[in-house]
Amino acid sequence: MSGSGHSEIGSYMRQLDEALADAPSERRREIVDEVKAHIHEEMQQLGRPPSEAEVRQILDRLGEPVAIANAVADDVPGESSAPIRSRSPRLGLLEVVALVLLLIGALIVPIVGWVVGVVLLWISPAWTTKQKWLGTLVLPGGLALPLFLSVISASLGGVSCEVHGEVRSNGKHRFIDQGSSVCESTAPPLWLMTAVMVTLVIADVAVAIYLGRKAGKDVAPEGST
């Protein structure tokens, strides 16, 4: 096998591997193995080490690595002139940042952080409109909302105390002898607040996980009719 032929094949296989980066790992391995076997068979048919030109021809006939990767995504063979995906809908960096900001953006930069998350959510091609609405409406403020609510309820809740006892006075100060106080909190009951808090947090995290798993799954891949 000529040295330069080797490196062309190596470079081709690397390109194929990269083009398949978005594919499920099993499918990727399957295709890479089959293409490797194909090249091997071609060379066996030749019966002798291929020349550089012959290697190029083999790789040309195989087609562009991107075309093969597109076929894996489509599950149907396409011509090499098929449009190259500009951005495959998947859980990429954009999507991850969107979800993170939706959840905790408001904690980092109040309101704006979450708003940026919403903008990214809607920009991304990875979700259907319904899924985007879900993310916007169920997660307003993200995890900041339960936090905010708990702070509000704590401060709204006053404590009113009744003090019992005898009042003495020495002219300057009033003293309470043998006093006792009964304090009542006017905040909503702790168990209720905790329940609401927990529900919100669970809902937020659940929606975030749902969107994370659904990224790219329900949308049509770009370039397909």
Partner 1 sequence: MLGMIEARRHDSLAQMRKGTLEFCVLALLTDEPRYGFDIVKTLSEVDGMVTPQGTVYPLLARLRRDQLVATEWQESPAGPPRKYYRLTPKGQRALNEFVIEWQRFKKAVDNFIERAEQK
Return the DSSP state at 6. H
Residues in 31-60 at the binding interface with partner 1, rule: CB under 8 A? 31, 34-35, 37-38, 40-42, 44
What span, in angstroms and rounded, lies between the C-alpha atoms of 187 and 98? 35
Among 53, 75, 137, 180, binds partner 1 (CB under 8 A): 75
Nearer to partner 1, 13 or 97 (CB): 13
Stretch that binds partner 1, among 23-31, 89-97, 161-169, 210-218 (CB under 8 A): 23-31
38/193 Cα distance (integer angstroms): 64
- Pick the stretch among 66-74, 108-116, 133-141, 202-210 that binds partner 1 (CB under 8 A): 66-74
Judged by CB under 8 A, the stretch of 74-82, 102-110, 113-121, 198-206 that binds partner 1 is 74-82
Among 27, 164, 168, 217, binds partner 1 (CB under 8 A): 27
Nearer to partner 1, 129 or 225 (CB): 225
Q: Is residue 72 within the footprint of partner 1 (CB under 8 A)?
A: yes
Instruction: Give residue for tokens 């991304």.
Output: 124
Could you tell me the CA-to-CA distances from 216 to 87, 187, 220 in Å, in that order? 11, 44, 8
How many angstroms separate the CA atoms of 77 and 81, rounded? 12
Q: Angle 52-62/3-19 helices, nearest 10 degrees?
A: 20
Question: Where on the phi/psi map is residue 35: left (φ > 0), alpha (ψ -120 to 50), or beta?
Answer: alpha
Site residues, partner 1 (CB under 8 A): 27, 30-31, 34-35, 37-38, 40-42, 44, 61-65, 67-68, 70-72, 74-82, 225
